[in-house]
Each structure stands twice: as structure tokens, then as C-alpha cells.
Structure 1
């Protein structure tokens, strides 16, 4: 965050400041610049973003609602450390939810939507060919956006909200436990899903999605690596 961004943040409304802090911390968590178990002190977050502890607390509570932060009584807030069992539950939830999203999306999909999906696939392909942490972050984000776009297409705001949380938590699990150096959310599988969507084939699209989720989960292991301190992870 540069000085100009910090000035804009301090001039924003409290709820907007909390949302901006939540986004910065969310990106750092999903990218694993903040390791699981890292303490997120209200005082330190407030100092780094030049906001009150109340504003910082609201941002941390947003992240706790998403499952990315754990708030412990009398101890404070910590980056969540999803267990293998939690990871399995996240992907089990997606297996239940995403076929229903597909069924709803197929009823609403248009040629314009297909074009949007293909543009997102082009963006994924671009980041897959890049190297370095920034490209890694962008690729994981683009992969998650694919599933969020599909959820938005369903026309069901509740399903979309559930998927937003599941994708965020999946991204954290992938970043922590992913066996490969790239996103496990396969670009080629996304392309096949789009082709089946274009044919309005609910059964085939659902089959491909379930295979896709299986593939993501199969690429996980349990090894952890060290992350950065809060100040360094946020670029201060």
C-alpha cells in the first residue's frame, strides 16, 4: 500500500475502511504471505492502516465470518489454520452446492455469458504462463472468479454468498496444502466446463465439475511453509 492509498483510506467512511482492510488482509491470507496461526492484533492492524481499533476489529470480524480468521476469547484474532478434515468438508460442501448452481445457471446462460467465461479463461492462461508470487496470486484469484461467475449466473444471491465463502476458504486450503507450484484449479477443466455449459448440458457440466473438484482436492498435501510477519506481508 502506498502513501496515496493510505490517505484515501483514512478519508473514507468507517465501513469502507473496514472493507478495504478486509480485502488487503484477505489477499495476504489467501496468498499465504500471512501464515496460518499468525496473530492479527487490532492495535497493529489499526496502526498499519492508520485507523482506529474499532475499524480494525470490524475488518477482522468480516474475515472471521468467512472462516479466514479465528477470533479466540481473551487471545485475539489469528489467521485460520484449516485442518485436513476442514479441507475435506469444504470440498464436500462444494460437491453438494455446485451442481445445483450449474442447474440454475444453465437456465439463464446466454452467448454473452459464454463470451465472459472465455475472456476469464484467457486471463487464467496468461497468468499460468507467468512466473513469481504476483502471478501465482493472480492465477488463484482468476480460478476462484470462474466459480464465482458461475454462482452469480445462477441468479440466487444466497448461493452466491455461500460460494464466495467456499471459494475464499478453498483458496486458502489450496495455497496452504497445494502440492504443485501452480493453482490446482485446472484451466483445461474450466474450458471443458464452459463448452458443456454452452451446450446447456446440465448432466455433463455437473459431471465435469465434480471431477474438477475431485482433482483440486487430490492435489493437496499436509505440508506447511513459513509465512511473513504482518507488516511485511502487507508491504509496509
Structure 2
């Protein structure tokens, strides 16, 4: 679907366009192309995507509901900047639900899914050998995708939706407080978790995942980030 699809008319078209814009903005936030605190001008976003401000506003409100955007009266919308307490809450929530997701995945995983995980680990390994901000963002995104694939294998669609929000919020936290970049998750941790899944050792998978989350959180510290223009972040012409 493209935002300028001429066949899209009526209320549903507006909803579809708002969803597409939300997804574009969400990806830019998760990939850290949009830094926390970046102003999201309704007029500029509308121009970039050739839609009305009403459609943009709906997209921004959806992101605000997810906790990725902060809307301030008379000032506009901004990429959210999580506080240290909010950061702790994100990882506390992950510690509560991800071990059970790992247990469920260990019981349900198939050879095809194991192969998919191995492909993702190979991609992670390749990205770790590259340099530069774009490679770093791709590595962080690939790491988050590992956790989302795990939730998908676990088979609980409600928990998968929770994980989508938690992974996105984790990306924001890492953008603000990531100390060394290791917050993007340890490649070796992922490999060990996959080994436990392949052995169908549910308890080991759960414990490894819990340790892994602790590894991510321990690398966090206060850190400044530089904003880049909205147009460049969204890569629109």
C-alpha cells in the first residue's frame, strides 16, 4: 500500500493512511533515526506524506497511546523521552513476561522456526562486523526482531502485541541511556537462548532470557543524543 494510492477514498482511506504514517514514524523511532525529543510537526509530516493534518494527528495520537510520542498542549508532538523511572519500568515489565514467553516458545518451536532464528543470528553477526550509525541502527533493530520472533513462536498474540510496544520503548530507552551500544542485546546471549529452545529446555531458556534482559539494563546510563531533521530521519523526498 502506498500513501498516495488513488483508490483509497472515504473514512477507511484516512484510517489506512494514518496507520501507514504511524508505522513509518514508529520505524524511525525504533531505528533511532528520530531522536527522543524531536518535534513532529503535523504540517511537515503532512507535507512529507501528502496527507491532511487530521490524518497526521491520528497517527501521532496512536503513537502517543503506545508511549512513543508525547503530545503537549499548544506545543505539539515530540518523540518521547523516557525518564529513568520509566526505563526501569520497561525492563521490569520485560522481566515479568519474557521468561514465560521463552517457556512457551521452547514447547512449541519447530525445525522451520529454529532455522528462521539461525538466519536472524547470522544477520546479526554480519551487522556486528559493519561500522557506522546505519549499521548500528540495523543491529539494534535486528536484535529487537529476535525478541519479537520469540514472542511470535510463543503463540500468544496478546503478549506479542505487548512485546511490540516494549521493544519499541526499549529502543527509546537505549537511545537516551545506552552507554556503549551493547544495550542492543548480546549476540552470544541470543545464541545461547536459541540452543536452549532447540533442546526444548524451557526452564533454561527462561533463565537465559532473564539474564539477558539484565545484561541489557546494566549497560544503561544517561546519555545525550543529537537530533537530525525530520525529513532526513524519514528519508522522504
**Which of 208-217 and 13-22 deviates more?**
13-22
Q: Give the Cα–Cα distance (whole angstroms) in 2 for the partners of residues 30 and 109 of structure 1.
A: 27
The 2-side partners of 1:142 and 1:47 are apart by: 30
Q: Does 1:107 align with 2:107?
A: yes
Deviations 1:111-167 (A, max 9, x none): 111111111101111111111222112111110111101111111111010000000
2:210 alignment counterpart: 210
Q: Identify the match of residue 10 of structure 1 among 4, 10, 13.
A: 4
1:173-188, aligned counterparts within 5 Å? Answer: 173-181=173-181, 184-188=184-188
* Count of aligned pairs between the two proteins: 230
CA distance in 2, matches of 1:167, 1:98: 11
What are the residue-to-residue correspondences of 1:142-181 with 2, within 5 Å? Answer: 142-181=142-181
Quote the Cα distance in structure 1 between the aligned partners of 2:34 and 2:205: 35
1:16-38, Cα deviation, whole Å (9 max, x unpaired): 32222222222322333322222
CA RMSD of aligned residues (A): 1.7
Indicate the larger mover: 98-107 or 161-170: 98-107
Question: What does residue range 66-105 of structure 1 map to in structure 2 within 5 Å?
Answer: 66-105=66-105
Q: Distance in 1 between matches of 2:209 and 2:99?
A: 7
5+ unaligned residues in a row in structure 2: which ranges?
Answer: none
- Match of residue 55 from structure 1: 55
Q: Distance in 2 between matches of 1:181 and 1:93?
A: 21
Post-superposition offset of 1:179: 1.3
Q: Secondary structure at the match of 1:33?
A: coil
Q: In the alignment, is the contact (CA less than 8 A) between 1:30 and 1:168 conserved in 2?
A: yes
CA contact (8 A) 1:31 1:175 kept: no
Alignment match, 2:133: 133
1:38 corresponds to = 38
Mapping of residues 179-198 of structure 1, within 5 Å: 179-181=179-181, 184-198=184-198
| Structure 2 SS opposite 1:78 | strand
From the superposition, tell whether residues 34 and 219 of structure 1 become closer, same or farther in structure 2 (CA, over 3 Å): same
Measured after TM superposition, the shift of residue 92 of structure 1 is 0.4
For residue 66 of structure 1, report the CA deviation from its aligned partner: 1.7
CA contact (8 A) 2:183 2:219 kept: no
Distance 1:201 1:155 in 2: 17
Range moving further from structure 2, 138-147 or 68-77: 68-77
